Amino acid sequence: MSVFSYEQLRKMNPGEFRVYNFMVSHLDDVPGMNIRRIAESVGVSTTTVLRFCEKAGCSGYTELKYRIRQELDAPNRTGRFDVDPAIQYMKTSAKDDVFAERMARAAKICADAGLIILSGNRESKPLTRYGAYLFSAVGKAAFIAEDGWGTVCPEGEMKQAVLILSSWGSGADIISLIHNYKQAGVPLISVTNTEHCPAAQMADVNFSCYVPEISGSCRYGCTELVSQIPVVYLLETLTGEIQKLQKQ
């Protein structure tokens, strides 16, 4: 939803981001809901909803509803699968010094490693294969740890780096894998949807994309999906930076 900018979303705490995800998933219903009903539906206080409105650049809930009505009335609105937040993330990242510094650190970690372990869950899982392909294309050995499974090489053998792709960053398998590698002193990079999840906070370098959840379903019983466009962008940018380091 283009009502909110990436910079606004990255400053929100977990409760405020939950309000955002609810509104994105119920965009057509929000204009007819009062603030108390929004708070009850999300499971937060009305104060949290008001803070969310302020961080979204609105004077209150009434102004937020007005902006949402404008979004709904836009002639080019094409449903809830909106790529604008993902595109906004990529455009913002290209000008962000913090992003550039994190990308440089992540590229150095991967360039120094002899083996890169990739692991992901839910909709992120297929992109571990694409990531492995990209790393192989720039001459890096890559191994996919399916469902969070992986083994730590004994000390003295091939140096490793771990790349976690997990929108929610809180699955038991993913957290177990991260814990094992952290104990072994292996550097870890994570790509998550917010910086508040365990995978983000445990990583040496984290990229938080802040794109809206989309209501849906799949054969695994998922009810919410997250666009993977930023993940593709990050993987391709990361391997491009690794290639630059190799040529120096």
CATH architecture designation of domain 86-247 = 3-Layer(aba) Sandwich (3.40)
The 10 Å CB-count burial string (b at 16+, else e) for 20-53 is bbbbbbebeebeebebeebbeebebeeebbbbbb
The conformation of residue 39, written as its DSSP 8-state character, comes to H
The Cα 104–Cα 146 span in angstroms is: 27
pLDDT in tens, 141-193: 998 887 555 556 555 567 899 999 988 887 778 888 888 888 888 999 999 98
Tokens of 219: 């054969």
Sequence spans of domains, the chain: 6-79, 86-247
Q: What is the CATH number of domain 6-79?
A: 1.10.10.10
Specify the pLDDT at position 220: 47
Specify the pLDDT at position 156: 56
The conformation of residue 154, written as its DSSP 8-state character, comes to P
pLDDT in tens, 23-82: 877 777 888 889 999 999 999 999 999 999 888 888 888 888 877 877 676 655 444 556
Mean pLDDT, rounded, of the chain = 82
**Long-range CB contacts for residues 194-199, cutoff 8 Å, separation at least 24:** 194/14, 194/17, 194/169, 195/10, 196/13, 196/14, 196/17, 197/166, 197/168, 197/169, 197/170, 198/169, 198/170, 199/164, 199/166, 199/169, 199/170, 199/174, 199/175
